[in-house]
Amino acid sequence: MAQDLYDRVVRTIIENQNQYYRLAYSYVQNQEDALDAVQSAVCRALEHYKELKNSGAVKTWLYRIVVNESLSILRGRGKEVLSGEEAPPEESYAEKGFEPPEEDLYLHINRLEPEVQAIIKLRFYEELSLQEIAQIMEMNLNTVKSKLYRGLKALRLSIEEAGI
């Protein structure tokens, strides 16, 4: 039983590694941090796979771990203190295979509340169902729906104001 679950977790990680990376990158906007988030998520999943209650929800469970690891990296950025020296300016990096369809649209999405951002990214960039998103976000399905529709309305207003 435990070995079957472990094998399922490993298989899901391998099959969906690009999606997990893309999701992490959508949060942290940096190749190294996205790789770190996915690596930490994989390690955490492999350490705690026995705690998974629903073996049919491995994929959504892993998405949730990636989201949590990405948010953890973002929180850590706010706490970083530079030692006397200025940090070198980060060079622009274009991630192959992950190019948001509309740069301006993506910037508008990133201005929304973090939960709403996550729901919109999971729904439209990862093409997950609302039920899967509810599991990942650990929310009621109706809460996900209302946050999605409120977020889309706010996004539309923001885009109209910007004249895009």
Q: Which amino acid is at 109?
A: I
Under a CB-based contact definition with an 8 Å cutoff, are residues 20 and 62 in contact?
Answer: yes
> With bands split at pLDDT 50, 70 and 90, how would you rate the model's confidence at 164?
low
Instruction: Report domain extents, the chain.
Output: 1-76, 100-164
Q: Is the pLDDT at 13 greater than 60, yes or no?
A: yes
**Domain 1-76, what architecture?**
Orthogonal Bundle (1.10)
> Considering only the top CATH level, what class is 100-164?
mainly alpha
**According to the model, what pLDDT value does residue 32 have?**
94
| Buried b / exposed e along 50-78 (16+ C-beta atoms within 10 A) | eebeeeeebbbbbbbbbbebbeebeeeee
What's the pTM?
A: 0.73
Give the Cβ contact number of residue 148 at 10 Å.
18
User: CA-to-CA distance for 5 and 8, rounded, in angstroms?
Assistant: 5
More confident: 106 or 85: 106
